[in-house]
Structure 1
Amino acid sequence: MHTISKSGLRCALLATVSVATLFASSAAQAQSAAPLASAQAGAQAAASTGDGAAKDAGQKVSDDTMREIIVTAQFRSQKLQDTPLAITAVDSALLEARNQTDISQIAAQAPNVQMTQMGGAFGASMAVYIRGIGQYDFNPAYEPGVGMYVDDVYYASLTGSIMDLLDLERVEVLRGPQGTLTGRNSIGGAIKMFSMPPEAEDSGSFEAAYGARNRIDLRGSMNFALTDNLFARVAGVYKRQDGYVDQIDYGCANPDNALGITAKPSTPSNCVMDKLGEKGYAGVRGALRFNPNDKLDWTVIGDYSYEKHTNAANVLTIDDTSKTDGINFICGKRCTYADFYVPAGGDASQSYSMPNETMFTGWGVSSNLKYDFTDTLKLQSITAYRAWHTTFGTDDDFTPDPNIVGGGYNDIKFHFFSQELRLSGSVGTVADWTVGGYYSDQKTVYFTRQDIRYIDYAYCGGLGVCNLQFTGNDPVNADTKALFGTVMLHPTSDLNVTAGIRYTKEHKDYTFVRKAFDGGTLNDAFGVGLLDGSTANYDGSRVDWRISADYHFTPDFMGYATVSTGFKGGGVVARPFTRLQAVNGAFDPETLTAYEMGFKTDFFHHMLRVNVAAFYNDYKNIQLPISDCSVLDEVEPGTDTNTCAAVTNAGDGHMYGAELEVSANPVDGLDFDASLSYINGAWDNIADVVGGSIKVGDPITTPNWRWSMGVQYRADLGNSGSLTPRLDLNGLSKQSQGRLTLTSPLDYIPAYMLANARLTWKNANEDLAISFEVQNLFDKYYLLPLRFTAVYGAAGTGYSTVGRPREWAVSINKKF
């Protein structure tokens, strides 16, 4: 038998990593892709079973080579490499190394994951997609497609999902439907964040950063041992940064314009009224943990967050001058003429301004109680209440043209209660099982003031331009009940078979309130006034299931195969224009059956990790926007009954793809991680009511490719500490923005790559660190997907969100 020295192993590993790097780079040049690999993990760990979220979850259990992360995706603590799911797990050390401080940045290391901070007409919300499945519309009539969880508590809305990664222990990104594990609305996958638990020691940390555009970040946490069995932890964050898109006063910058728009009195001499894309965030979290013995572990968490900043960094990217008085209102790459100003007209007796900023306040409290009856029978109870309030204004046409008025003011209040019970146990070494139940009750009150004066259709009765001006104050109720169970069988020491089932029953009702601006009866040419007092209802149920088998061919090589289902909840039409569109507008859940195979493996004594997954999704009853509402208004198909902004089950399709994650520690101090993902698919059928905005033959999801790579090297300086440079690259191939009209070709955002660099010095005790970082190192100009073109047909305009330019920052971190 030949033997290989450790140095020989490291040489072989370096060659392997070089090949992997070349492969990722070549694939990126061929197309591109985004976000980064999983966290470093490796070494050996003893994973406890059956505790629903065990005490050692997330802890790294060895300092040898790569760190192992313990995850709880299957209701029990397991090593990441032993879990037969496609999971990207990121621990606090990697979050710190990359200086990732909000949830949208997590996409930078998870294959086939896209998180886009919304803006403009969508407020403080996040569009989250995994493997091409998600949701972008914040309206409470619709449901998310990716489940978001903090400390096992479900966040039921897209609004408020732009969360700071405050004092986190780890993040688990589960790809593929999680219908039996996390339930409804995890059809694409789930993102689970776990905060640092209070521990039996006194400790703390504080970090301060200053950077480009007056960036100020303050973060800190403290842990206290109040008694021998009562521990507390508190953490806080404050972020502030100027915006990077100039909001320019059109009259000031163009004093002799044809529309006669004059400068506003308060505009400064440089004509810049404000800057869009600001940061303004503050949050605090406190936790108490009672752990009197080995049986009881009870943690209560409370949190509060506050946001106030200008709207997202949107710029006008489309302007059909035939509809905008012959004037091109496109200002430039990082400026806009949008003024959020509404002149008098229609029911608006006086002119007024919409706010160009977003405000959000949210708070919540949760209880996580674990009790071990015996070593093999454990109970977990998760109780939570959350509430938030947000306001934001919109300028739908995104121009200062007083003849094209479209905008709204939105004020939304949200309340959510949830209760989950899990009972877990084991039958010797033969099986582990979990059964449980879940209940949630949700209420939203959505106040809006809509002022739309650009519509010019035949059904205006020959009046030319129709004014659609109304206020709404809509209560929306939703509740969910579920029962679930999972069993893991162990026929041999190397083979595991998992089966799960979940039954879900859901209800939603949406009452439409439509009044005139003065609070009186709304008389309009559209029929919107007849909506007042109408209620739309949806009721449905669903059974999801999962079967999985995994086999350990060696202690360091595990293969698995899974078939699973998931669904995104049904709902009602959020923006009806007639009473019949509302009462007939209920739609069913969209459903997914996923087939997945993969393997997880470690090489060279845990110096190299390679995880691969391949999947096929059968996607049914897809909820799509339609252009023909005759099916809801109960008239002949194709009849022009009114404006249509409905959603219904209108398509089927399929998707397939593959994902590669690599992490390596080839020599002491050198860490490498990378990911590469591919996804493709096709629409199998599209209902005629969609009207051509989506066609068979269009890509069902883009971008096809995402890739990432990160490398860092810790240079030991002896008594002077250490110096660690780090470079992260990520990119993606072109991605579709849809089409402007039914006859237009698809538009695409070109492929791009982003680079981030960071240099960190730590002292010898590693309790003091000073870092210098540059984000978007090469100052790449790029647009985020999901542009707003809802008013293009009437106003001829559309706007997009600009990615952040190059930014620098210096930070100091002290641990004690």
Structure 2
Amino acid sequence: MKTNTDVSKTLASKLSPVALAVAMTVPALSNIAVAQEAEATEEQQFEAITVTATKRPQVIYEVPIAISAFDGDKLAAQGITDLTDVGKFVPNLNVTGFSAGHTSSVNPFIRGIGLQDHLITTDPGVSVYVDGVYLGRQVGQNWSLNNIERIEVLRGPQGTLYGRNSIGGAINIITKEPDQGDVTKVNTEFGTRGRVKADIFVNHGLSETVAFNMNLAFNKRDGLGEFINVPNAEYDVGETEDISGRVSLKWEPSNDFRMVLTADANNGDGGLRPYTVLIDEVGSARYFGGGNGLGVELRNTDVTPEGADIYDNATGTEAVTGVSNEARGLSLTTEWDINDDYTAKVVASQRTSKYKAGLDDDGTVFSLDQFPERGEADQTSIELQLNGYINEYTDFVTGLYYFNEEGSNRQGDDSNFDGGPNLLELDQETTSKAVYVNVRHDLTDELSVSGGIRYTEDEKEASANVFSALGTIFDSNEWDEVTWEFATNYTFDNGMTGYATIQSGYQSGQFPARPYCLIGQFFGAGGFDDIEGAQAAVRANNCFTASDNITATNYEVGIKGRVNDYFDISVAVFNTEFEDLPYQVSRVSEGGFDTANLVVEQTSRGIEADATFSYGNFSMMTSIGYMDVDVEEQDGFNPVAPLTPDLTLAIGPQYTFELDGGDSIRVRADYSYRSEMYGEPTSAPERMTELDSRALVNFDIAYTPANEAYTVALYGRNIFDERYDNARLNTGDYILQILSNDASEFGVRFTTEF
């Protein structure tokens, strides 16, 4: 009991007084629940979602972290078609896309932590896992969320069990595992904006010990604008077309041993993401004043001519009109129940991904700043786990982890800056090794404690070539870190759980993404007058160096569970401190579009809640998050956390009408709100990168006959056609205004299972 008290005192010193007061009043809900019903029924207990956030099966109420979970079979009714949509319904989560204008890019930001870049030398602050396999890169993956069992969103640093690159949180996608059931499920969608979507899922038992399932999907949607100066462009602005497949084979020769082999692949093509370029607002000498390599004075009307739609694109460079992506993956998961107490598990995976994209930064017919880009990454990972029970009061998870990734990004012959040739050759190999252990112990029937520790070693070897006269610059670095966590859980009389957690997270340092500052250093060190001397000087003291370890410490208290027969709730209050956190700051330098790391100290604090109310045929899901982020001033520069709204809100009421004969009609609406935020890490008014708030509304009306042979639904997504900025970036010469690809859509969905 002394341990629990000490943790509470530490948390109280870190959490804001107002937020802590709110959290501490929540246990009063347990008194309400006790007055209404002392114990939940068996049926109600079974309704709680089981998650694997702690790498062991647990009822979601028992997990001592803030977590939101989505049932895969209910995603379509909520209007969720991809990970970007998931970001509309989780408190303090915002999912955006930028990444060289690619329509498949996914950039999650949780509690003020994320990454809006995509190059190989950058790492995300929120990790994404599929069936226990970490996805090192998001561009080129394009998960369409078919064949999904559930999605878990873990908020806050997850450094002990999930390791590096989870300082903001982690997203787990769990697919349906093959079993002995014979099921075929077909989904189709047809809607406005040329939506055509179809997928088929088949699960079949081949023998008493072997089963398989497969999922094939096709998804197409038209664009929002035209490439007005490239009449032969293959795709319109924002158009997408993707085909994907996934096959899993499960062999279970006994109750104690099972293997699942999975292969997946996807290919996507389409048009460049919608965006526009603001020139007049900056009034730069190079663009607005004509001080560029072409001597052309540019205006906003060169980007969006009078009468043109803002979603039209005025580029004259065909190479940047289209995007493509592909991914291939193979994984093998093996589980062996050694005895009644211990289970060994191995998850091995090999993945490849490729993409083609790139922006025309000036956004005009002039060949001034165009950056067609190609990238690829190969990753191999293996994780060995041992979990089980030490005794009837204590369970544990321990493991070894290995990860290797090799990747590259290229801009070359078809790329130019300031009307002249532009070069970017970026390569990096990352090797990460870790060992971890997490133990949970029941002190009493009501009180449990858990703790974990992880040791990680990372090594990166990187190179960059941005100027042929300078040649390739090489650098390497090594990092290591110990991450840890400690948590206490207390179960109240009615079954609700209160928890207090202290946890840390870690991310290895990062090399700059676009080190065009090397060119300035080259000329500053003598340049062509002394090539050998300049090369030596740049290599000895260059701007292509990695940042230090990034660390996070999170203090959190919360309560979750079933208040009564009708009401579930989860409330968390947190305070997270980040050290040596690199912000990506971009500007136009004399050598090109330069991206440097601005290292900051950041504190994120806030409160968030998920709740579900069910009464008869009516139910309503709600989530709300409020957050305050402080970033330390940097030499007079006042940075802010980018793409991080202060307030997030989602409400989803649903009612089912029972018709004569057993037929039913389910009516659902979903409202999502994200408040104002900044598109880049600066709050300076002259930067003009603040994004307006946005409110999105979906509906779904579904009819199911009494025999449940099929469901047909009318759907509407973003029904009021809210157009909003996805990101903004001020380079000093212009503002890139990244527009949403999320226009209104109405259609019909048909689902049958047999």
For 1:97, the aligned partner's letter is: A
Q: After superposition, where does 1:238-387 map in structure 2 within 5 Å?
A: 238-249=218-229, 266=231, 275-319=236-280, 320=283, 321-323=288-290, 325=297, 327=299, 328-331=301-304, 334-341=310-317, 353-387=318-352
Query: Which one of the candidate residues 693, 711, 722 is aligned to 2:653?
Result: 711
**Which residue in the other structure is 1:755 paired with?**
697
Query: Which one of the candidate residues 56, 59, 65 is aligned to 1:79?
Result: 59
State the Cα distance separating 1:80 from its structure 2 match. Answer: 0.5
Whether 1:789 and 2:750 are equivalent positions in the alignment is no
**Which residue in the other structure is 1:809 paired with?**
747
Change over 3 Å in CA distance of 1:798–1:741 after alignment to 2: farther
Give 3-state SS (helix, strand or coil) of 2:75's partner: helix
Whether 1:442 and 2:405 are equivalent positions in the alignment is yes
Give 3-state SS (helix, strand or coil) of 1:685's partner: coil
Give 3-state SS (helix, strand or coil) of 2:743's partner: coil
Change over 3 Å in CA distance of 1:699–1:468 after alignment to 2: same
Whether 1:665 and 2:624 are equivalent positions in the alignment is no
**Which residue in the other structure is 1:562 paired with?**
501
Q: After superposition, where does 1:4-19 map in structure 2 within 5 Å?
A: none
Q: Distance in 2 between matches of 1:433 and 1:598?
A: 23
Q: Distance in 2 between matches of 1:537 and 1:780?
A: 46
Give identity over the alignment, percent: 24
Q: Is the 8 A contact 2:458 2:479 kept in 1?
A: yes
State the Cα distance separating 1:701 from its structure 2 match. Answer: 6.6
Q: Distance in 1 between matches of 2:473 and 2:315?
A: 34
Deviates more, 1:236-245 or 1:423-432: 423-432
Whether 1:651 and 2:603 are equivalent positions in the alignment is no
State the Cα distance separating 1:754 from its structure 2 match. Answer: 0.9
For 1:336, the aligned partner's letter is: D
**Which residue in the other structure is 1:408 paired with?**
371
Q: Is the 8 A contact 2:662 2:705 kept in 1?
A: yes
Deviates more, 1:735-744 or 1:112-121: 735-744
Give 3-state SS (helix, strand or coil) of 2:594's partner: coil
Q: Is the 8 A contact 2:679 2:729 kept in 1?
A: no
Give 3-state SS (helix, strand or coil) of 1:787's partner: strand
Q: Distance in 2 between matches of 1:128 and 1:719?
A: 45
Query: Which one of the candidate residues 443, 447, 450 is aligned to 1:491?
Result: 443
**Which residue in the other structure is 1:521 paired with?**
none
**Which residue in the other structure is 1:520 paired with?**
none
**Which residue in the other structure is 1:675 paired with?**
623
For 2:244, the aligned partner's letter is: G
Give 3-state SS (helix, strand or coil) of 2:461's partner: strand
Give 3-state SS (helix, strand or coil) of 1:382's partner: strand
State the Cα distance separating 1:119 from its structure 2 match. Answer: 5.1
**Which residue in the other structure is 1:779 paired with?**
721
Give 3-state SS (helix, strand or coil) of 1:380's partner: strand
Whether 1:502 and 2:454 are equivalent positions in the alignment is yes
Q: After superposition, where does 1:516-535 map in structure 2 within 5 Å?
A: 528-535=467-474
Q: Distance in 2 between matches of 1:567 and 1:746?
A: 32
Cα deviations by residue, 1:625-646 (Å, 9 ceiling, x for unpaired): 46899xxxxxxxxxx9976835
For 2:312, the aligned partner's letter is: T
Cα deviations by residue, 1:431-485 (Å, 9 ceiling, x for unpaired): 1112111001111132222777665xxxxxxxxxxx6524444432111000101
Q: Is the 8 A contact 1:316 1:336 kept in 2?
A: no
Deviates more, 1:199-208 or 1:179-188: 199-208
Change over 3 Å in CA distance of 1:647–1:472 after alignment to 2: closer
How many residue pairs get aligned? The number is 682
**Which residue in the other structure is 1:420 paired with?**
383
Q: Distance in 1 between matches of 2:482 and 2:335?
A: 28
Q: Is the 8 A contact 1:590 1:621 kept in 2?
A: yes
Whether 1:190 and 2:170 are equivalent positions in the alignment is yes
Change over 3 Å in CA distance of 1:685–1:657 after alignment to 2: same
Cα deviations by residue, 1:40-73 (Å, 9 ceiling, x for unpaired): xx9999xxxxxxxxxxxxxxx9765983211111
Q: Distance in 2 between matches of 1:670 and 1:598?
A: 27
Q: Distance in 1 between matches of 2:681 and 2:228?
A: 29
Give 3-state SS (helix, strand or coil) of 1:97's partner: helix
Change over 3 Å in CA distance of 1:317–1:723 after alignment to 2: farther
**Which residue in the other structure is 2:686 paired with?**
744
Q: Distance in 2 between matches of 1:298 and 1:80?
A: 26
State the Cα distance separating 1:192 from its structure 2 match. Answer: 0.3
Q: Distance in 1 between matches of 2:676 and 2:426?
A: 39
Change over 3 Å in CA distance of 1:374–1:423 after alignment to 2: same
Cα deviations by residue, 1:524-567 (Å, 9 ceiling, x for unpaired): xxxx2344232121211111010111100224211000011112
Change over 3 Å in CA distance of 1:154–1:273 after alignment to 2: closer
Q: Distance in 2 between matches of 1:98 and 1:700?
A: 27
Q: Distance in 1 between matches of 2:542 and 2:605?
A: 36
Q: Distance in 1 between matches of 2:656 and 2:421?
A: 61
Q: Is the 8 A contact 1:298 1:367 kept in 2?
A: yes
Q: Distance in 2 between matches of 1:707 and 1:421?
A: 39
TM-score w.r.t. length of structure 1: 0.79
Give 3-state SS (helix, strand or coil) of 2:85's partner: helix
**Which residue in the other structure is 1:26 paired with?**
none
For 1:673, the aligned partner's letter is: M
Cα deviations by residue, 1:288-343 (Å, 9 ceiling, x for unpaired): 111122211211111001100111122334544445625323425543343242xx
Change over 3 Å in CA distance of 1:473–1:642 after alignment to 2: closer
**Which residue in the other structure is 1:590 paired with?**
550
RMSD: 2.7
Q: Distance in 1 between matches of 2:376 and 2:644?
A: 33
Change over 3 Å in CA distance of 1:326–1:177 after alignment to 2: closer
Deviates more, 1:135-144 or 1:648-657: 648-657
Query: Which one of the candidate residues 621, 625, 629 is aligned to 2:580?
Result: 621
Query: Which one of the candidate residues 630, 633, 637 is aligned to 1:685?
Result: 633
**Which residue in the other structure is 2:529 paired with?**
none
State the Cα distance separating 1:666 from its structure 2 match. Answer: 1.4
Change over 3 Å in CA distance of 1:65–1:653 after alignment to 2: closer
Q: After superposition, where does 1:111-130 map in structure 2 within 5 Å?
A: 111-118=91-98, 120-121=100-101, 124-130=104-110
Cα deviations by residue, 1:650-689 (Å, 9 ceiling, x for unpaired): 211211100011101112x212100110011211232x4x
Q: What residue ranges of structure 1 are gaps of 5+ in the alignment? A: 1-41, 46-60, 250-263, 342-352, 456-466, 515-527, 630-639
For 2:488, the aligned partner's letter is: A
Change over 3 Å in CA distance of 1:761–1:643 after alignment to 2: closer
Cα deviations by residue, 1:576-613 (Å, 9 ceiling, x for unpaired): 232447575121232111100000031222x2101100
Q: What residue ranges of structure 2 are gaps of 5+ in the alignment? A: 1-36, 291-295, 519-537
**Which residue in the other structure is 1:551 paired with?**
490
Q: After superposition, where does 1:158-177 map in structure 2 within 5 Å?
A: 158-177=138-157
Query: Which one of the candidate residues 101, 107, 113 is aligned to 1:133?
Result: 113
